[in-house]
């Protein structure tokens, strides 16, 4: 928005309202809405605190899917990561990838918007060697539980997948290198034992 030069200014009600006239002769009435903005901001903070508390309650009770959805809604990558990591650590359903069969099946029923947000989080976590393991488990859960034809139709999803693949390849290459080094170490130890004997 472009403003012209102000030629006249009149202040009313101790600055709560003022009137300006610009070079084109346009008269504009301005009102101070600072209090309303503060009230909206305070209300948003209050809701956020309540949601954070609700998230902690869901985690404490083991309501993993509810905690997962709320963390996704809060749109904070580490809160969502912590929910998934806690679920994996609790491992209430043995043999489950994420530690909860209900959570895994529910992830398979997410709408396109949530799937897209989930892949955004996976992409972010996958770039970090400390976080990528949860990202990889989540990818497996999505591939097992989601309709792949439906996934393919989600607009913008392929961009996230294209950015996930190179980091995944790098992580698995690192594992391959470690395994190869462990074989070399085992061989060296065996040969040293033979020399000592």
Q: What is the pLDDT of residue 53?
A: 92
> What is the per-residue pLDDT for 4?
75
Helix (H, G, I), strand (E, B) or coil at 27: strand
- Mean of the per-residue pLDDT values for the chain? 87
Q: What is the pLDDT of residues 38-51, one digit of tens each?
A: 888 898 889 888 98
For the chain, domain boundaries: 1-32, 34-173
pLDDT at 111: 92
Regions in the chain scoring below 50 on pLDDT: none
Contact between 167 and 132 (Cβ < 8 Å):
yes
CA dihedral (74, 78, 84, 86) positive or negative:
negative
Could you tell me the pTM of the whole model?
0.67
Task: Report the SS3 class of residue 12.
Answer: strand
How many other C-beta atoms can be found within 10 angstroms of the C-beta atom of residue 160? 21
């Amino acid at each position: 928005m472009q403003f012209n030069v102000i030629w006249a200014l009149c202040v009313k009600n101790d600055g709560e309202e003022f009137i300006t006239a610009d070079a084109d002769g346009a008269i504009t009435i301005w009102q101070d809405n600072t209090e309303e903005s503060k009230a909206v901001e305070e209300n948003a903070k209050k809701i956020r605190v309540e949601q954070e508390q609700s998230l902690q309650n869901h985690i404490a009770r083991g309501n993993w899917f509810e905690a997962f959805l709320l963390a996704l809604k809060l749109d904070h990558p580490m809160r969502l990561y912590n929910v998934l990591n806690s679920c994996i650590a609790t491992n209430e359903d043995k043999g489950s990838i994420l530690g909860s069969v209900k959570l895994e099946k529910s992830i398979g029923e997410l709408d396109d918007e949530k799937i897209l947000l989930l892949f955004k989080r996976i992409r972010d976590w996958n770039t970090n060697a400390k976080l990528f393991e949860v990202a990889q488990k989540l990818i497996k859960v999505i591939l097992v539980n989601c309709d792949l034809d439906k996934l393919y139709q989600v607009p913008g999803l392929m961009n996230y997948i294209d950015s996930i693949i190179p980091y995944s390849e790098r992580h698995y290459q690192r594992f391959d290198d470690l395994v190869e080094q462990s074989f070399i170490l085992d061989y060296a130890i065996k040969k040293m034992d033979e020399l000592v004997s």
